[in-house]
Amino acid sequence: MLSDRFRFWKIGAALAALAGLVIYAARVGPKAYPTFIQARQDPSAFAGRTIFFGGDVLRLSDGEFAFWAKEGFVVEARGIIGPDPVGFRVSGTAVFRADGTLDVLTSHVYRYRIYKSVLAVLPLLAVAFFFFRTYLFDRRAFLFRARSR
């Protein structure tokens, strides 16, 4: 199964499967999981439906908050999203109202996002360093070979 025979067919099949999954997600995903942008384009069709939202929290008051959507506008929402989320990114699900505001059902505040990203990349860099120190890619054979010492 992992032999060198039919290597290009195996790589091609894996790439075709990956491309198929990406195309499927791009076509079916927006219909199954509508976003705030889709709802904002046709408010009457999405009134009362559950949608996904996300953006940076601008202000917070009693039971309400406003966030800056990545498309460049401010969205008003009703619901509780946690203690002191101002300045952090928030996402979740909400019921869309015809006036363009949201009633939040679930939410998640992304705190310390940059630190999590750095911590996720460090082990990857370490593994890549040791891998490329041990192996060398042979372009003609299209595989990795152990470096001679």
The tens digit of pLDDT for each residue in 106-130 reads: 999 888 878 888 899 999 999 999 9
Domain boundaries, given as residue ranges, for the chain: 1-32, 36-110, 113-146
> Using CA atoms, how far apart are residues 61 and 82, in angstroms rounded to an integer?
12
| 77 within 8 A of 90, measured Cβ to Cβ | no
Please tell me the pTM assigned to this model. Answer: 0.63
SS3 19: helix
The tens digit of pLDDT for each residue in 86-99 reads: 888 898 999 999 88
> Using CA atoms, how far apart are residues 77 and 102, in angstroms rounded to an integer?
4
SS3 67: strand
Q: Does domain 36-110 have CATH number 2.40.50.140?
A: yes
